[in-house]
Chains A and B, each alone.
Chain A
Amino acid sequence: MAKITPKEVEHVARLARLELTEEEKERMTAQLDSILGYIDKLNGLDTSRVEPTTTVIPMVSVMREDEVRPSLTQEEALANAPDREDVFFRVPRIIED
């Protein structure tokens, strides 16, 4: 039984903001199906009484005083902009008319 369908691949690609060609979609479906099939072995393990690991070293929320510290200048921040206008990053329209 297929672990992932082409429809699901389309849905996931949309979530990931990835445009795939038809050929990519087909290949991706087959490859992900194979990988997910392999990953299925995890279901052989009883983890009902196991806590998930979220950090491997003991960690607490690291805080500091809310004071302004040196950061990037506007020019530094804009230096790699694919498109800028004045002190703004310019992007294609967001809201449809």
Chain B
Amino acid sequence: MTDFVMPSLGADMERAKVAEWLVKPGDRVKKGDVVAVVETHKGAIEIEIFQEGTVAELCAREGDDVPVGGLLARLSAPGEAPAERPAGPPAPPVREMPRAGPQPAREPKAEAPPAPPRPPVPPAGPRAKVSPAARRRAAELGIDADALAGTGVDGSVTLADVELAAQTHAAAAAPAEEPAPARKTRGGFDPAEMRKAIAAAMGRSKREIPHYYLTGTIDLGTALAWLERYNDGRPPDGRLLPAVLLLKATALGLRATPQLNGFWEEGAFRPGPGVHVGWAISLRGGGLVAPAIHDADRKPLPELMAALRDLVGRARSGGLRSSELMDPTVTVTSLGERGADAVIGVIYPPQVAIVGFGRIAERPWIVDGLVTKRPVVSISLAADHRASDGHTGGLLLAEIDRLLQEPERL
């Protein structure tokens, strides 16, 4: 028997609400199956399972708010008799986030019998470090700062942790007031919650990651001329956007500079298992997500375009999958045709780099000693100095430029 727990869908997620189960006890599941839909500040996310077996028990109910690491379901392995609960060693304890402060009533008060006293929450090891600002704010909000999971330096509880906890509690309290059935509509995110989650993740990034920055300008004349010929005569569904060329060139460049593709975790760099590019997508109504395009370096351009189109559609309407939020090894942000000239990004922890493209614009440019008009784009790299140095970053930018001069080979 194995536990299936709430995955962490990014550094800015602490918990999520189970909106809908798509499997029931007795169902066989295999790696990659979508088994549930949860609601997060990024909207409705389809949760995939990465174990094989038979669903033995659904432990979280629809409508339950479950912390990252909290038990969702139990599975029996292939061949294991589903009912044999005691088989094997006891399941490891679930990494349950300590809850703080007064617990919001889960059931509607009317039908609730006198609640049995809750067992005291055991303190999670030694007393947590709490920053003075965090302690002050926690006192204002009536939150027990010592019971929070800290994300600051050496695990200390920071102001952002307190704010996030306050917001999470507010969100958790809401369902108690309207005892409605679990909302099953897909899509839709709370812009205010997303704002807070972005604030927490970006705050952590700026506190913890020693960024270094490089910029350059790339002549896209050859690439865009090639693209125009490619698109000419194709129906709209078969056309490519310039963004796809930038994405592919970046993915190939990262394959050549693996120090920039991966994670900084526990004081060391861990290379990504593939080039899974998190593509920053701005959402209508504010906020953004950067879900993964898996193995972007190995997808031919038409396939990459289809993947991008599908991803943008699902990011905006709901229906992103858990793996897309968990797997990005790097982020790329492209401002498109109406954006600013340049963007210098903030790394999404625990990633170690973000590549930014500005607006493609025509500029005077020197080709073969003559000033001429060319479409150019600014490129930037913000990278984690703990994991790499500027020299490596420079190699990446040069490689992306080189690749974009030979678009037919992308």
Q: Do A and B bind each other?
A: no
**Interface of A toward B, CB cutoff 8 Å:** none
**Interface of B toward A, CB cutoff 8 Å:** none
